[in-house]
């Protein structure tokens, strides 16, 4: 019998900080919507397949927002207190339906923010409501109603629309329960009791997410890992010249470096570990650095915190092979991709994502029949196992991708695909499902001389730096950090004021703002994120008692790309 090939499936659960400042209103609802759709379904699949093993990576800022939503919804249900999310307040009916046509139109457009083919069209009653509001059920091409038409829509119309929007966002494991099935069959006329029951289901789902994943980890079925607290691009905070390994000729920000960036990285790691341990009761063995962004100085920081493993993309592995002088035949055959690597004297092990296999799940299989897709995926893994033969057990295939963003492109939120995939993987005779911590402790490492700095996207940092819009964002952040440092040095901040400003700075340092800057991105999403980035910087200036510069009143980027599903962070190749 052939030796078993080690396979690690790692799901990265990530949403940025969507609030106005540390405690303001939520600008976008993606945290709780992905909570009731993807985070719940992903736990359910693991619970249904106890022999399956996986790594689940959580960003601490997501964990904190899930907590906050669960708490706010509890306050709403027990005391009628409005939440800080307008979509939930609309569903609850705790605020009057606006008479202003512009605000009514905004509600209709917001309720179209879902994948048309998979999340709107399967629900005829939902599609009819959107059509009645002047749209086509398509967030991109719809033709909204005129102000004259909007005035004739009843309050019940908006309550029904909000109810259907939340029903459409329920994951498969929730949607098949009795309450959602009853409401879907009812189709319209949802009363207060109906909507309150749906809100109760949402609250219990969000409150139960962390306990469910904690149980899965405690019984050894999954490994839980984390990302630095606010999801910053660690190598760029450390040193802007880390962009040069893959982008030697790209323009850089005006600022030569991010002030005190290395210590800021340590803050994100230290505070992230505190949040993670508070939620899951233990420290993680591994850290998926934001966007798989690695560099030699980043590995040194992981060593400082005793982190045993990290991971990045295939492009980083190829660039590192070139810098390390690996034999060409090893690079061409991808042989070295399937071993944990160790660089110089660093203790941390580095795994590399098989981009082809990961992207098949993320971008290709959604339009395949589930059985065909799973069969194709398994065949690829069997081919790799056959290539290594008797040494298959000394190698590992790393499949790493977002745990929330692919599934709305699949029928039934990916239920049929994931159910079949987990069943086949957990019972396959020549494939052994593992975790990174387990593999890092057992497999021989490949010693490499030099790690090329880069991310899982193209092996570079081009998604976050090196273009006019992105560099302008960095220069605004650098200026704010300098003003923050001056306020701290002058003794203007202390105690709770310093803690709040420091945490607000960390929000501003997140990677997602820079991801969306650029003309290749859809205009609506660019506007959402660049406005929120500028708002976060203005809040930082308020907290440090410094007048915000007028440059924060000028939009950073506009975007012109196609918006197949504007507002969610599907990673496009």
* pLDDT tens-digit map of 138-162: 443 445 577 778 988 999 999 999 9
Question: Does 329 score more than 80 pLDDT?
Answer: no
Residue 430 lies in a domain: yes
| Summary mean pLDDT of the chain | 94
Q: What share of the chain has pLDDT > 70, as a percent?
A: 94
> CA 293, 298, 303 angle in degrees (round to 5)?
130
Q: What's the pTM?
A: 0.95
Can you give the pLDDT at residue 146?
76
Residue 214 lies in a domain: no
Among the listed residues 12, 48, 11, the one whose alpha carbon sits nearest the alpha carbon of residue 419: 48
- Quickly state the pLDDT bin for 59 (edges 50, 70, 90): very high
Last residue of a domain, one of 390, 414, 448: 448
Residue 558 lies in a domain: no
Mean pLDDT (whole number) for 171-195 = 98
Cα pseudo-dihedral 117, 123, 124, 126, rounded to 10: -100
Residue 567 lies in a domain: no
Same domain for 195 and 295, yes or no, is no
pLDDT tens, residue by residue, 249-306:
999 999 999 999 999 999 999 999 999 999 999 999 999 999 999 999 999 999 999 9
What does the alpha-carbon distance between residue 153 and residue 155 come to, in Å, rounded to a whole number? 7
The residues, any chain, with a CB within 8 Å of residue 121's CB and separated by 6 or more, are 127, 137
Can you give the pLDDT at residue 373?
98
Same domain for 342 and 227, yes or no, is yes
Question: Does 328 score more than 80 pLDDT?
Answer: no
Same domain for 197 and 233, yes or no, is no
Can you give the pLDDT at residue 494?
85
What's the domain range around 374? 5-65+223-448
- Quickly state the pLDDT bin for 563 (edges 50, 70, 90): very low
Among the listed residues 210, 178, 258, 165, the one whose alpha carbon sits nearest the alpha carbon of residue 69: 210
Question: Does 571 score more than 70 pLDDT?
Answer: no
Question: Does 330 score more than 70 pLDDT?
Answer: no
Lowest mean pLDDT: which of 203-212, 240-249, 551-560?
A: 551-560
The residues, any chain, with a CB within 8 Å of residue 209's CB and separated by 6 or more, are 35, 39, 40, 43, 66
Question: Does 564 score more than 50 pLDDT?
Answer: no
Same domain for 205 and 227, yes or no, is no
What does the alpha-carbon distance between residue 175 and residue 38 come to, in Å, rounded to a whole number? 12
Same domain for 191 and 319, yes or no, is no
Can you give the pLDDT at residue 559?
81
**3-class DSSP assignment, residue 470:** helix
Question: Does 356 score more than 50 pLDDT?
Answer: yes
DSSP secondary structure code for residue 310 in this structure? E
By DSSP bridging, strand 446-448 and strand 431-434 are: unpaired
Number of domains within the chain? 3
Instruction: Determine contact, residues 351/359, Cβ cutoff 8 Å.
Output: no
Residue 458 lies in a domain: no
Mean pLDDT (whole number) for 312-330 = 88
CATH number for 424: 3.20.110.20
């Amino acid at each position: 019998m052939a030796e078993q090939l080690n396979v690690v499936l790692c799901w990265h659960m990530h949403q940025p900080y969507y609030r106005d400042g540390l405690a303001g209103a939520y600008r976008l609802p993606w945290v709780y919507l992905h909570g009731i759709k993807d985070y719940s379904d992903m736990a359910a699949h693991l619970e249904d397949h106890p022999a399956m093993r996986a790594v689940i990576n959580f960003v601490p800022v997501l964990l904190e927002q899930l907590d906050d939503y669960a708490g706010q919804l509890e306050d709403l249900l027990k005391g009628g207190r409005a939440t800080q999310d307008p979509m939930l307040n609309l569903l609850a009916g705790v605020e009057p339906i606006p008479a202003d046509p512009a605000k009514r139109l905004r509600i209709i457009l917001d309720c179209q923010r879902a994948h048309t083919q998979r999340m709107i069209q399967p629900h005829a009653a939902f599609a009819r409501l959107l059509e009645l509001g002047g749209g086509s059920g398509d967030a991109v091409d719809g033709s909204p109603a005129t102000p004259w038409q909007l005035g004739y829509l009843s309050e019940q119309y908006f309550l029904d629309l909000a109810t259907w929007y939340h029903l459409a966002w329920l994951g498969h494991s929730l949607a098949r329960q009795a309450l959602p099935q009853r409401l879907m069959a009812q189709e319209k006329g949802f009363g207060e009791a109906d909507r309150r029951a749906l809100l109760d289901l949402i609250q219990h789902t969000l409150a139960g997410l962390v306990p469910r994943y904690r149980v899965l980890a405690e019984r050894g079925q999954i490994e839980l890992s984390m990302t630095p607290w606010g999801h910053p691009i660690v190598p760029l905070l450390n040193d802007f010249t880390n962009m040069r390994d893959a982008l030697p000729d790209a323009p850089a920000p005006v600022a030569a470096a991010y002030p005190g960036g290395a210590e800021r990285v340590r803050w994100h790691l230290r505070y992230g570990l505190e949040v993670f341990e508070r939620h899951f009761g233990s420290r993680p063995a591994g850290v998926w650095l934001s966007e798989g962004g690695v560099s030699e100085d980043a590995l040194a920081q992981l060593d400082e915190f005793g982190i045993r493993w990290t991971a990045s993309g295939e492009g980083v592995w190829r660039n590192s092979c070139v810098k390390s002088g690996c034999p060409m035949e090893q690079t061409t055959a991808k042989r070295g991709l399937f071993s944990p690597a160790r660089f110089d004297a660093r203790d941390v092990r580095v795994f590399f994502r098989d981009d082809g296999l990961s992207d098949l799940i993320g971008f290709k299989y959604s339009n395949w029949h589930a059985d065909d897709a799973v069969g194709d995926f398994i065949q690829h893994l069997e081919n790799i196992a056959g290539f290594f033969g008797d040494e298959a057990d000394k190698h590992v295939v790393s499949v790493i991708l977002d745990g929330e963003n692919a599934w709305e492109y699949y029928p039934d939120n990916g239920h049929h695909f994931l159910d079949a995939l987990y069943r086949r993987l957990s019972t396959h005779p020549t494939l052994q499902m593992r975790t990174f911590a387990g593999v890092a402790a057992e497999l021989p490492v490949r010693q490499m001389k030099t790690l090329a700095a880069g991310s899982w996207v193209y092996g570079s940092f081009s998604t976050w730096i090196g273009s006019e819009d992105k560099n302008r964002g960095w220069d605004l952040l650098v200026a704010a950090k300098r003003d923050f440092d001056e306020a701290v040095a002058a003794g203007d901040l202390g105690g709770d004021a310093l803690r709040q400003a420091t945490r607000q700075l960390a929000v501003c340092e997140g990677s997602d703002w820079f991801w969306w800057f650029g003309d290749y991105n859809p205009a609506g999403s660019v506007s959402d994120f660049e406005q929120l980035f500028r708002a976060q910087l203005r809040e930082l200036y308020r907290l440090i008692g410094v007048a915000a510069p007028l440059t924060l009143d000028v939009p950073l980027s506009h975007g012109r790309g196609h918006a197949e599903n504007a507002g969610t962070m599907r990673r496009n190749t």
